[in-house]
Copies of this chain bind each other. A is one copy, B any other.
Amino acid sequence: MEFDDKIPIYYQIKNDLYHRIVAGDLAPGEKLPAVRQLAVDLTVNVNTVQRALSEMVTEQVLTSKRGVGNFVTQDTTKITALKQRLSHGYIERLYTQLHALRLSDGEIVAAIQEYMATTNEEE
Contact = CB atoms under 8 A, between A and B. Distances in A.
Copy number in this complex?
2
Interface residues of A, number: 34
A102 interface: yes
Interface in A1-58: 6-8, 11, 19, 22-24
Interface of A: 6-8, 11, 19, 22-24, 83, 86-88, 90-95, 97-98, 100-103, 105, 108-109, 111-113, 115-116, 119-120
B105 A97 contact: no
A116 B120 CA distance: 25
Given A19-B101, A83-B101, A109-B116, 15 more contacts: A19-B100, A22-B101, A22-B102, A23-B100, A23-B101, A86-B101, A87-B98, A91-B112, A91-B115, A92-B115, A93-B94, A94-B94, A94-B112, A108-B112, A109-B112
